[in-house]
């Protein structure tokens, strides 16, 4: 009996096949998310994560699977995989998001900024006044308009900084000037996460220090060597962020049907991946790096990966 048949028969999630399907699917969905643990998954950690997933999602998952079960085993497994993957992505992103927020809170202690009122989470340039509600797009465009130098980072255990501190201040100033008032720090964090999305590397193992700033790796960089990036190492930094399918898509960005085949997805999903890859390459063009050499190295890495298969 399949898990789908069992769900229809029992009307709940208590069956043996259902449990086996959830476990199997979680194993598959969790493979790319080794960064959620210190040294990659072991069985204990995977089971703990599955338990956390079930704690968060049990009720809505149950409803979803009971409906999907009427459409058969494939529908059940596909939906379960998608729900699990989204949850895991959320967990990974919280780690990035929290790290960026900490860095911004540190940045905002500078005298050039102030809270709109004591105890609030709205920050503006000194004397800026009341909270405002700018659109995310407006803030992102202001952030992207500021050219920053990418930071060369050699540590294998800590995240690279988003940018050097003076550059972060320039971006923050541009964002707050554009807003024309005080902005909620959550919205500022979203903006910086998107602005510096090419740098955030959830796949890098975290430092084993227990202190949050240490774990975040976004501390001040005054005491670290900041040099211009080498195109090859920059290409490698980007390469490791991409899934295997996204890497292969880099070589066929103008061929949507081919991208659909590679991604095993339909049109809109392929356009979304293309937009993200193109956005990543455009953001690189704004950095002080040999763009042509970087793209060439990126393609070489992709082709080497394809040849190796």
Partner 1 sequence: MSNESERDDGMRARLSSYAPSAQLLEALDVAATPEGLERGQLWRAAWQDTRALLLVLGDAEDSDVATRQLLVAVVTLAEQPAKDSSIAFLAASTTCFHEVTVWPSLTARIGTHVLLTLVEDSEETANLAVKVTSVADSLVGLGAVDAFDPSARLVAELADDLSALAEAPTVRVADPGARTRLWDALPGTPGEQLKTLTVELGLRQDQAMALLRDQHTLTAEQARHVEAVYELPPGALPDAAALPADVVRELDHPRWRAAWQAAASRMSSDEVSVKQIFGSRAYALAARETGPPDWTQRLALLLAAEQ
End-to-end CA distance of the chain: 36
2-21 positions binding partner 1, by CB under 8 A:
8, 11-14, 18-19
44 near partner 1, rule: CB under 8 A? yes
The nearest distance, CB 126 to partner 1, in angstroms, is 27
Question: What's the token pair of residue 197?
Answer: 């999305």
**HSE-CB of 228 using CA atoms within 13 angstroms:** 6
d(CA 243, CA 277): 11
Choose between 195 and 234: whose C-beta lies nearer to partner 1.
195
Nearest to 67 by CA among 52, 54, 83: 83
Question: What's the residue count for the chain?
Answer: 309
Choose between 25 and 221: whose C-beta lies nearer to partner 1.
25
Here's the x/- map for partner 1, 205-234, by CB under 8 A: it reads as: ------------------------------
In degrees, to the nearest 5, what angle opens at C-alpha 149 toward C-alphas 146 and 152?
150
- CA distances, 83 to each of 20, 53, 196 (Å): 16, 10, 26
129 near partner 1, rule: CB under 8 A? no
145 near partner 1, rule: CB under 8 A? no
d(CA 92, CA 80): 18
Please count the residues of this chain forming the interface with partner 1, following the rule CB under 8 A: 57
d(CA 261, CA 283): 27
136 near partner 1, rule: CB under 8 A? yes
Nearest to 113 by CA among 168, 193, 44: 168
d(CA 179, CA 145): 14
242-271 positions binding partner 1, by CB under 8 A:
265-269, 271
d(CA 220, CA 173): 18
Here's the x/- map for partner 1, 158-197, by CB under 8 A: it reads as: ----------------------------x--xx--xx--x
Check if the beta carbon of residue 179 is closer than 8 Å to that of residue 138.
yes
60 near partner 1, rule: CB under 8 A? yes
47 near partner 1, rule: CB under 8 A? yes
Place of tokens 């994560």: 49
38 near partner 1, rule: CB under 8 A? no
Beta pairing partners, 134: none
DSSP, collapsed to helix, strand or coil, labels residue 140 as helix
The nearest distance, CB 276 to partner 1, in angstroms, is 5
139 near partner 1, rule: CB under 8 A? no
Choose between 99 and 125: whose C-beta lies nearer to partner 1.
99
Choose between 178 and 296: whose C-beta lies nearer to partner 1.
178
54 near partner 1, rule: CB under 8 A? yes
d(CA 256, CA 18): 36
The nearest distance, CB 69 to partner 1, in angstroms, is 8
Check if the beta carbon of residue 84 is closer than 8 Å to that of residue 91.
no
Check if the beta carbon of residue 84 is closer than 8 Å to that of residue 25.
yes
Binding segment for partner 1 (CB under 8 A), chosen from 33-41, 70-78, 202-210, 296-304, is: 70-78
Choose between 230 and 255: whose C-beta lies nearer to partner 1.
255
89 near partner 1, rule: CB under 8 A? yes
In the complex, the residues that contact partner 1 under the rule CB under 8 A are 8, 11-14, 18-19, 22, 43-44, 47, 50-51, 54-55, 57-64, 66-68, 70-71, 74-75, 82-83, 86, 89-90, 93, 97, 136-137, 140, 186, 189-190, 193-194, 197, 265-269, 271-273, 275-276, 279
């Amino acid at each position: 009996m399949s898990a789908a048949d069992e769900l229809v028969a029992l009307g709940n999630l208590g069956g043996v096949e259902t449990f086996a399907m959830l476990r199997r699917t979680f194993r598959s969905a969790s493979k790319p998310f080794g960064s959620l643990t210190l040294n990659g998954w072991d069985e204990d950690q995977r089971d703990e994560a599955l338990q956390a997933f079930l704690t968060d999602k049990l009720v809505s998952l149950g409803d979803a699977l009971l409906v999907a079960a009427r459409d058969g085993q494939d529908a059940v497994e596909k939906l379960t995989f998608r729900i699990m993957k989204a949850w895991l992505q959320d967990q990974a992103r919280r780690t990035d998001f929290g790290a960026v927020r900490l860095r911004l809170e540190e940045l905002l202690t500078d005298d050039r900024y102030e809270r709109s009122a004591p105890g609030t989470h709205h920050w503006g340039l000194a004397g800026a006044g009341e909270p405002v509600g700018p659109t995310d797009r407006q803030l992102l465009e202001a952030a992207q308009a500021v050219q920053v130098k990418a930071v060369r980072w050699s540590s294998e255990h800590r995240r690279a900084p988003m940018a050097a501190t003076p550059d972060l201040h320039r971006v923050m100033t541009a964002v707050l000037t554009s807003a024309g008032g005080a902005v909620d720090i959550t919205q500022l964090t979203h903006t910086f996460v998107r602005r510096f999305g090419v740098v955030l590397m959830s796949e890098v193992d975290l430092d084993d220090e227990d202190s949050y700033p240490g774990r975040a790796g976004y501390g001040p960089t005054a005491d670290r060597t900041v040099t211009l990036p080498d195109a090859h190492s920059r290409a490698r930094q980007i390469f490791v962020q991409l899934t295997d399918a996204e890497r292969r898509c880099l070589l066929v960005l103008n061929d949507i049907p081919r991208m659909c085949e590679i991604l095993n997805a339909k049109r809109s999903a392929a356009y979304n991946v293309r937009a993200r890859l193109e956005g990543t390459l455009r953001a690189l063009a704004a950095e002080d790096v040999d763009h042509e050499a970087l793209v060439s190295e990126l393609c070489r890495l992709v082709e080497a990966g394809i040849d190796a298969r």
